């Protein structure tokens, strides 16, 4: 036990309890032994396991999207559809814009904005990846969806959309990954 703990107590002051003595000699304890350790002392930077989680989710999103786009493009003629169930069908559409066909004549601008957005997400993740356990999944979905559509825009000049609900513009798995990623961030 520490030398200071065996000193004679001042009159009117109770002796330290066993718990107080253990806390007082704990190596990482604060000087007063009872104050909270600040949350600011905890590093929020992404660790290796968070980076691995982000990469696995992003790569899975890219692979699933690219595979489904390839299957649709190679098996369904452009502007043709295969009715599945209810209002849902698979319709082969080429979209040179972003959501709802916006900015269809500004492919270069969309490419630049997507690269900037992905870079920003990576920097944010590097600084805050340990903030919440769902962050690697959410940003992995956002980055994976963005990168997959970016690959199509750079390679083809358009994105293949195929999920059609009739009352909503056609979309793809990359778009779905982005929406689910945002939902996870907001949830």
User: In angstroms, rounded to a whole number, what is the distance separating the alpha carbons of residues 58 and 138?
Assistant: 9
Report how far Cα 73 is from the mean position of its chain's Cα atoms.
Answer: 28
Burial class (CB in 10 A: 0-12, 13-18, 19+), 93: buried
| Active-site option among 65, 152, 164, 175 | 175
Note if 161 is an active site residue.
Answer: yes
> How far apart (Å, rounded) are the C-alpha atoms in residues 15 and 94?
79
- Mark whether 175 is an active-site residue: yes
Angle at 142 between CA 137 and CA 143, to 5 degrees: 95
Active site residues: 161, 175
């Amino acid at each position: 036990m520490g030398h200071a703990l065996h000193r004679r107590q001042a009159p009117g002051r109770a002796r330290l309890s066993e718990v107080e003595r253990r806390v007082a000699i704990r190596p990482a304890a604060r000087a007063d032994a009872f104050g909270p350790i600040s949350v600011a002392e905890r590093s929020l930077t992404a660790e290796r396991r968070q980076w691995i989680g982000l990469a696995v989710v992003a790569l899975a999103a890219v692979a699933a999207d690219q595979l489904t786009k390839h299957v649709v493009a190679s098996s369904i003629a452009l502007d043709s559809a295969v009715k599945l169930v209810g209002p849902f069908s698979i319709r082969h559409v080429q979209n040179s814009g972003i959501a709802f066909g916006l900015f269809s004549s500004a492919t270069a601008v969309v490419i630049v904005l997507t690269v900037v957005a992905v870079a920003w997400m990576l920097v944010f993740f590097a600084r805050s990846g340990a903030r919440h356990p769902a962050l690697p999944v959410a940003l992995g979905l956002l980055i994976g969806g963005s990168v997959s559509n970016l690959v199509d825009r750079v390679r083809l000049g358009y994105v293949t959309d195929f999920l059609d609900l009739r009352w909503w513009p056609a979309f793809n798995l990359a778009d779905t990954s982005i929406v689910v990623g945002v939902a996870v961030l907001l949830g």
